[in-house]
């Protein structure tokens, strides 16, 4: 059963993400900020990260760079889920190492499909 880290400063969005993914057999951990996400990573092994960009203490791109900069997290798929749908934000996220990019508002079906795809890639990789 995969562990999914949901990082968003909005508790409502975190609840919506979990509700959207209810059909997936997964465990969820949450973080309300970028700094909290890094703390959670140190304590919990995660298989997929769903990451907002706009957060008050640490921008999501900085969290993404942290993840990609550490060997133990480097291969963890990261779905950036943000209100910023402009080409510059998408390009910056992909260049920083995002595995996928999706904008809010999202449909539950699209989010579940994207996360399911990321999980299937994790399952297909050789043991770490």
Strands (E), the chain: 3-7, 27-31, 48-51, 78-82, 100-103
- pLDDT, tens digit, for every residue of 53-81? 999 899 999 999 999 999 999 999 999 99
Burial 39-51 (b: 16+ CB within 10 A, else e): ebbeeeebbbbbb
Residue 125's pLDDT is what? 57
Alpha helices (runs of H) in 70-107, residue ranges in sequence order: 87-96
Is the pLDDT score of 43 beyond 50?
Answer: yes
Give the whole-angstrom CA distance, residue 78 versus residue 63. 10
Q: Where are the domains of the chain?
A: 3-123
pTM: 0.93
The angle subtended at Cα 29 by Cα 85 and Cα 31, nearest 5°, is: 55
34 pLDDT band (50/70/90 cuts)? very high
**What percent of the chain lies above the pLDDT cut of 90?**
88
45 pLDDT band (50/70/90 cuts)? confident
DSSP class of residue 54 equals -
Give the whole-angstrom CA distance, residue 116 versus residue 105. 19
What is the topology classification, in CATH, of domain 3-123?
A: Rossmann fold (3.40.50)
121 pLDDT band (50/70/90 cuts)? confident
């Amino acid at each position: 059963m995969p562990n999914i880290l949901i990082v968003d400063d909005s508790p409502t969005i975190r609840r919506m993400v979990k509700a959207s993914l209810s059909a997936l057999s997964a465990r969820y951990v949450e973080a309300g900020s970028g700094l909290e996400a890094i703390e959670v990573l140190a304590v919990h092994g995660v298989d997929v990260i769903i990451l907002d960009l706009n957060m008050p203490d640490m921008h999501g791109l900085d969290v993404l760079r942290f993840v990609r900069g550490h060997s133990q997290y480097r291969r963890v798929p990261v779905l950036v889920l943000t209100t910023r749908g402009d080409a510059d934000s998408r390009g910056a996220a992909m260049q920083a190492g995002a595995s996928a990019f999706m904008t809010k508002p999202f449909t539950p079906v699209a989010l579940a499909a994207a996360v399911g795809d990321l999980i299937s890639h994790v399952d297909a990789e050789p043991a770490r």
